[in-house]
A and B are shown apart, each in its own frame.
Chain A
Amino acid sequence: MSTLIPAPTPNPEHSTSHADQHADQHAAPQANMQATSRRRLLQAGAAGTVLAGAPFAINIVRAQGAPIKIGFPTPLTGAFSAEAQDQVRAAELAVKEFNDGGGFNGRKVELLVRDDKLNPGEAASRTLELIEKDKVDFIVGSLSAATQLSINAVTRERKVIFNSISQSDAINEAKDWSPYTFHEALNPHMTAGAVARYAFPKYGKKVVYLTADYAYGHEMVRGFERAGKALGATTLADIRHPLGAADYSAFLPRIQALKPDILVLCNFGRDLVNSAKQATDFGLKESTRLVAPVLLFTSRVAGGADAFEGVVGGTSYYWGMEDSIPAAKAFNDKFRRAYGGAVPSDYGALGYAGVRSVLQAVVNAKSTDSDKVADALGRLEYNWYKGNQFYRKCDHQSVQSIIIVESKSKGMKDKNDVFSVASIEAPSESNLRSCSELGHKG
């Protein structure tokens, strides 16, 4: 099995410079043949040393108009590197699309990818570096609740727009928020609510939660219980397990004895794979439906058909939506063309949307000034890959559809055909916590 991106850790500093490839198309006419051939020599030198040559590229491009820089911190190394790398790929697709379309007044976009190692301290350092040293105009990124809060703390202070592309309930709250904070991704409240609204009426009212003992797990349980209360669901138990636990067998006899209708696996990534596998082994599926708030494409592929058979969960995007949603088909096809037939994952799509929204706001605002772009972004209505979306005024949460998928184990057309779309919950502000609850005035 090989990875799509070479496995040895990618360079933590990775600068994509589309600018120098287009430099000669936009070269101002040179009166002087000697200057043209000297430029050609410089370009050849820059092309040859492009990895170390970011400064060269900028020097050449300065003649046309400084590039618009977007900083992209994401955990390229660590447990979620697969998702992070997909975010990068999709973001680069958005940048290339924009540049191929002419850029902004001839200015091209550059994506500066940095590895935050899934560590809040590292994320803050990288973000500060991107703003102070690399002088980025905007920040898009993050893949965890903790890192996005620390990134936001930096961007908020420096008045730089940050469009977060991973889940967090806290980032919408007034105490962490600023007018430059935008949240492209779903949050636990929305996701858990949508899954609860689908699963509880369908499978039963007695619920047990097997929860990863950290902020994400707790937020998910809170979201489920809230939605569940309206539907008459009862919590039989909320069993906490340490983050990263490999063995869940110790919890399963107790869960079996409780005889729930639904077992909600409130964990993520590898924890979800392990708990789903082991719950399957213990024969829990005979009497209980397994539900997960977030069912990642990569987790399902890593865990295999057996472990995830019959598991129902939520997601922000699944490529299989292309059958019913034209925007999804268009996005998938773009991705396939760019990456040799590969399909975008859930977090990949967020990487694309996060960058594209910001760039569209730049065009709409006719400026790269933070305040003007923030204003334009706040007013943006868009449909990049799955249907209509917009940012809610009080907290800049992207109001969007939530997809409920069920894992497939039979009739799979190819290795990517792992889910069937069970339901799509339409975008609605009522899925979000109210502005006043989050502490926003007005």
Chain B
Amino acid sequence: MPPRRDRLRLALAVIALALISITPVRAHHSFAPYETTVQMKLTGVVSEYRWGNPHVYFEIDAPDASSGQTRHWLIECASTSILNRAGWKFNMLKPGDTVTVIVSPLRNGDPAALLKQLTLADGRQFTNGAAAGRANIQ
């Protein structure tokens, strides 16, 4: 196992409560590549917000909880229609915004994660739709 993955796993163990979350698979693909039993909280600055299908993505630069080093994360969201119905807007994020997310990271250690909850700088909170599952940490 590469050292980078070891560090990520250690960080996750420290910052996340490993709780089982039940994730119904009713999306265009499986969310199984994500470590859905692990949830972690990141606060970072948005560098990109791509509103498209099958899924919406945004990218953030966020300091690692253990090392303090900034990492670049790809955050996966649901489809545009699910997010619209969950109250999102296509233009509610822009580069430079500070956001806090609760996410489940990829199992393979790549810096990407499935969104569970998004909090904007003004305090508004959003889910990522039923298929992605709810945040179980705060």
A joins B in a complex: no
